[in-house]
């Protein structure tokens, strides 16, 4: 296995202060937990990339896992741009989320380069180059992490409380859940939330309704368990030791 000290990985974002049960505080807290799922997902790709060998079933599973990580980013960004940002701007003013959209645009091309390479490797495994693979991730990860950090700062609970009602946030969450269910294959993709989740600060967190979360975690998990083996955590969000140093501080 790789030595985590020899692999450049990325620090997860600090969890914002507040009460996650308060729907206004939850906006920044929940977004951070989801953003950290994305950071852990790419950390896991970087960590395991030096261990896999082309021509093996493990190699194919790793590539499929990498595809799901990239798809997760696309879904997350699309839902924000088509549902969440317009909802926020309806009260906060046009253009308030424009900087966040610019952050999305900044990583689309380098992310597409990685996706194209992974897709090619499925049919041409002999072209595997772990250094090139890692380099392609490092091209956009500093930009992505900075964008995710900046985005959280646009979700100020005091300002949200001033302009929105609890019911309005509950309604937009229902729209987001509906869109997620419509666009995602429930047996491959949502499991990333658990194998790259935060079992310390966010054991309660799931972007899915409870019944869907149980189905994803305990019934459908085994369909592609070969892919989820590359996560930073196991199914119960128990963190693997090599990734511990990149975790956010524990919130009491």
The series of mean pLDDT values per 10 residues for the chain, 252 residues long, is 75 96 97 96 97 93 96 92 96 94 94 97 96 98 95 95 97 90 77 91 81 79 88 94 95 68
The reported pTM is 0.94
The single-letter DSSP state of residue 239 is B
Helix, strand, or coil (residue 186): coil
Q: Which residues pair with 233 in a beta bridge?
A: 239
Residue 214's pLDDT is what?
Answer: 80
On whether the CB atoms of residues 104 and 77 are closer than 8 A, the answer is yes
Residue 192's pLDDT is what?
Answer: 87
| Cβ burial, residue 221 (10 Å; 0-12/13-18/19+) | middle
Residue 14's pLDDT is what?
Answer: 96
Residue whose C-alpha is closest to residue 198's, from 250, 145, 144 = 250
| Cβ burial, residue 71 (10 Å; 0-12/13-18/19+) | middle
Half-sphere exposure of 1 (CA within 13 A, CB side): 10
In angstroms, the CA 164 to CA 6 distance is 47
Q: Which residues pair with 184 in a beta bridge?
A: none
Residue whose C-alpha is closest to residue 220's, from 196, 188, 192, 194 = 188
Q: Is the dihedral of CA 68, 29, 235, 172 positive or negative?
A: negative
Tokens representing 65? Answer: 């896992």
Residue 116's pLDDT is what?
Answer: 97
């Amino acid at each position: 296995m790789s030595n985590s000290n020899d692999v450049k990985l990325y620090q997860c974002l600090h969890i914002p202060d507040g009460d996650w049960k308060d729907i206004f505080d939850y906006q920044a807290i929940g977004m951070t937990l989801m953003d950290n799922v994305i950071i852990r997902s790419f950390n896991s790709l970087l960590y395991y990339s030096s261990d896999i060998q082309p021509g093996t079933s493990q190699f194919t599973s790793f590539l499929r896992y990498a595809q799901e990580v990239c798809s997760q980013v696309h879904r997350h960004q699309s839902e924000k741009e088509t549902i969440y940002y317009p909802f926020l701007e309806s009260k906060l003013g046009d253009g308030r989320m424009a900087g966040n959209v610019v952050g999305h645009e900044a990583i689309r091309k380098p992310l597409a380069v990685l996706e194209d390479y992974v897709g090619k490797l499925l049919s041409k495994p002999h072209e595997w180059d772990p250094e090139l693979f890692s380099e392609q991730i490092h091209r956009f990860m500093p930009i992505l992490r900075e964008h995710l950090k900046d985005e959280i700062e646009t979700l100020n609970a005091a300002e949200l409380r001033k302009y929105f009602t609890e019911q309005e946030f509950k309604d937009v969450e229902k729209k987001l859940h509906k869109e997620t269910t419509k666009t995602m294959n429930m047996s491959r993709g949502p499991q990333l939330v658990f194998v790259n989740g935060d079992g310390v600060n966010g054991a309660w967190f799931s972007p899915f309704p409870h019944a869907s979360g149980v189905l994803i975690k305990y019934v459908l998990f085994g369909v592609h368990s070969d892919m989820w083996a590359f996560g930073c955590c196991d199914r119960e969000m128990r963190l693997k030791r090599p990734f511990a140093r990149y975790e956010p501080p524990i919130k009491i």
